[in-house]
Structure 1
Amino acid sequence: MTPAPNTSDQGAPDHDWSAGAQPLTRYVEGGVQWVRSFDRRRPLVWDLLLTGFFVVAAFIDVAGDGWRNITENENVPLWLVYAMAAVFSVPLLWRRRHPLAVYGVMAATTLVNAWSGASLQASLTLLIVVFNIAMRLPARTLAWTYCLTVVPSVVGHIRYPQGSWDQQVVPMMMSFAIVALMGIAFRTRQEYMASLVQRAKQLEVERDQQARLATNAERTRIAREMHDIIGHNLSVITTLADGGSYAAAKSPERAAQALTAIGTTSRQALTELRRLLDVLREEAPETAALAPQPALTDLDQLIDGVRSAGLPVRSTVRGRPDSLPAGRQLTVYRVVQEALTNTLKHGGPEATAYVDVAYGDDGVRATVTDTGVGGPPTADSSGRGITGMRERTALYDGTLEAGPRRKPPGGWLVELHIPKESTQ
Structure 2
Amino acid sequence: MRAHPAVGDCLLALSLLFVDLLVLLSQARQHHGQPWYVALPLDVAMVAPVAFRRKYPQVTAYVILVLSVPHSALQLGIGSATASCVALYTMVVYVGRRQAALYVVAQLAVAVLQMWARWAPGITLIIIVLIFALCWVLGEFVGARQAYHAEVEARLHLLETERDQAGRIAVAEERGRIARELHDVVAHAVSVIVVQADGASYALRSDPAVAERAVRTISDTGRQALAELRRLLQVLRNEEVTREPRIPQPTAESLEDLAGRVRAAGVPVELSIEGEMTGLPAGVSLGVYRIVQESLTNTLKHAGPGARAQVRVRRAENLVDVEIVDDGAGKARALVPAPDLPGGNGLIGMRERAHLFGGILQAGPCPGGGWRVHATFPVRLDP
SS in 1 for 2:4: helix
Q: Does 1:231 align with 2:193?
A: no
Separation (CA, whole Å) in 2 of partners of 1:182 and 1:283: 56
Q: 1:280 to 1:117 in 2, by over 3 A?
A: closer
Indicate the residue corresponding to 1:151 in structure 2.
Answer: 109
CA separation of 1:63/1:288 partners in 2, compared to 1, >3 Å: closer, same or farther?
Answer: closer
* Counterpart residue number, 1:420: 379
SS in 1 for 2:131: helix
Structure 1 unmatched runs, 5+:
1-34, 377-381
Aligned to 2:3: 37
1:24-423 mapped onto 2 (5 Å cutoff): 35-39=1-5, 43=6, 50-51=12-13, 54=16, 58=20, 61=23, 65=27, 85=43, 88-92=46-50, 94-110=52-68, 118=75, 121-124=78-81, 125-163=83-121, 165-166=122-123, 168-283=124-239, 290-373=246-329, 383-406=344-367, 409-421=368-380
Identity within the alignment, %: 34
The worse-fitting range, judged by mean Cα deviation, of 388-397 and 283-292 is 283-292
Amino acid at match of 1:391: E
After superposition, the C-alpha distances for 1:24-46 in whole angstroms (9 at most, x for unaligned) are xxxxxxxxxxx12233xxx4x66
Tell me, in whole angstroms, the C-alpha distance in 2 between the residues paired with 1:362 and 1:396.
13
Q: Structure 1: how far apart are the matches of 2:371 and 2:263? A: 18
Instruction: Check the 8 A contact 1:127/1:176 in 2, yes or no.
Output: yes
For the residue of structure 2 that corresponds to 1:390, the secondary structure is helix
Conservation of the 8 A alpha-carbon contact between 1:61 and 1:67: no
Q: 1:342 to 1:395 in 2, by over 3 A?
A: same
Secondary structure in structure 2 of the residue aligned to 1:368: strand
Task: State the Cα distance separating 1:348 from its structure 2 match.
Answer: 1.5
User: Is the alpha carbon distance of 1:333 and 1:308 closer, same or farther for their aligned partners in structure 2, counting shifts above 3 Å?
Assistant: same
Deviations 1:205-256 (A, max 9, x none): 3222222222222222222222222221221111011011112232223222
What is the letter of the counterpart of residue 354 of structure 2? Answer: T
- Count of matched residue pairs: 371
Q: 1:91 to 1:251 in 2, by over 3 A?
A: closer
List per-residue Cα deviations over 1:171-204 (Å, max 9, x = no partner).
2112212222222322222332233233333322
Tell me if the contact between 2:43 and 2:76 (Cα under 8 Å) persists in the aligned partners.
no
CA displacement, residues 296-315 of structure 1 (integer Å, 9 cap, x when unaligned): 22212211211111112223
The one-letter code matched in structure 2 to 1:239 is V
- Measured against aligned partners, the alpha-carbon deviations of 1:51-99 in whole angstroms (never above 9, x if no partner) come to 5554565466457537999xxxx99999987786565334445534443
The offset of 1:417, in angstroms, is 0.8
- Distance between the aligned counterparts of 1:100 and 1:216, measured in 2? 50
The alpha-carbon distance between structure 1 residues 67 and 122, as it changes in their structure 2 partners (threshold 3 A), is farther
- CA distance in 1 between counterparts of 2:208 and 2:33 reads 131
Structure 2 residue matching 1:253: 3-state secondary structure: helix
Counterpart CA distance in 1 for 2:235 and 2:53 is 63
Cα shift readout 1:274-327 (whole Å, capped 9, x = no counterpart): 444454443458896554322222212211211111112223222332342232
- Tell me how far 1:259 sits from its aligned partner: 2.0
Kindly indicate which of the two structures has a greater share of residues assigned to helix.
Answer: 2
Distance 1:276 1:84, change over 3 A: closer
**Residue matched to 2:340:** none
Superposition deviation, residue 261 in structure 1 = 2.3
Amino acid of the residue matched to residue 130 of structure 2? M
Indicate the RMSD between aligned Cα atoms, in angstroms.
Answer: 3.5
Q: 1:56 to 1:277 in 2, by over 3 A?
A: closer
Change (3 A) 1:102 1:343: same
Shift of 1:139: 0.9
Structure 1 residues 367 and 146, CA, compared in 2 at 3 Å: closer, same or farther? same
* CA contact 1:107–1:126 (8 Å) conserved in 2: yes
CA contact (8 A) 1:356 1:366 kept: yes
Change (3 A) 1:257 1:318: same
Counterpart-to-counterpart distance in 1, 2:25 and 2:226: 97
Report the residue type matching 1:65 in the other structure: Q
Structure 1 residue 364, shift from structure 2 partner: 0.8
Q: Distance in 1 between matches of 2:68 and 2:242?
A: 81
**Secondary structure, aligned partner of 2:380:** coil
Q: Residues 127 and 328 (structure 1 numbering): CA distance in 2 closer, same or farther, change over 3 Å?
A: same
